[in-house]
Amino acid sequence: MQYNSLTVGELNQTLSTLENGDRLLRSETRPRGLVSLFRSDNVEEQSRWRDYQGTIQPLEYRYERTGRRPKFLHMLFDWQDYQLDMDDKKHPWSLTLKPGTLDRLIYQLAVMRDLSNGEQELQYHIADGGKLKHHEILILETETVSTSLGTIEAVKLVRDRDDDSDRQTILWCAPSLGYLTVKLQHIEKDGATFTASLRELTGRDTSVFTPEQRPVNNPGFRTTP
């Protein structure tokens, strides 16, 4: 993960199946590089969900940030009564769920599934920050994306913000990997840019990446320190 051109963090995500058949998506972000010398903020997210009638249905979401600015949020999805129960360790509260509501972590899985099914309109209700928000994702062109594993063709997506915000969130999703996100970029109002690109991948065929040609050192040229 980079802030402008400076490496500031590392994002790891894992997807597993629990004994009862529920799925668990876990995400951990931790500082790297020079930033790790003066910041120790770790962010852990996890979403427990299930397949329900061909859709992704969240059951439980947990967010925890440690370090100088700790933050916590726990959400339970009650689909029988369509109620979302939340607790931030300060006070609990509840909201009424809308059909198809997702949490902010697994909505990326819904995007993957919808793109694989040929959907052209990507609109989602997201439980984010203790509120229900509406996200619309616009499908743009296909681009060649460079990653540590090589280059790959990916569909470029952008989140459409209806508040005339200058902020932008852009995703690149690779069809050959089931529309897995291989690059993500967030641009703030002041132009600051956060970029994350795929560095490692297990459980998928990485032969779909094309190795990048690197310049060959001239054997007749040598530098001496």
Tens-digit pLDDT profile for residues 169-186:
999 999 999 999 999 998
Cα 212 from Cα 24, distance rounded (Å): 34
Please report the pLDDT score of residue 48 as a whole number: 98
Tens-digit pLDDT profile for residues 39-49:
557 899 999 99
Please report the pLDDT score of residue 208 as a whole number: 95
pTM, two decimals, is 0.84
Cα 171 from Cα 160, distance rounded (Å): 12
Three-class SS of residue 112?
helix
Taking 90 as the threshold, does the pLDDT of residue 7 lie above it? no
Tens-digit pLDDT profile for residues 49-74:
999 999 999 999 999 998 888 999 99
Please report the pLDDT score of residue 6 as a whole number: 58
Q: Write down the domain spans for the chain.
A: 2-200
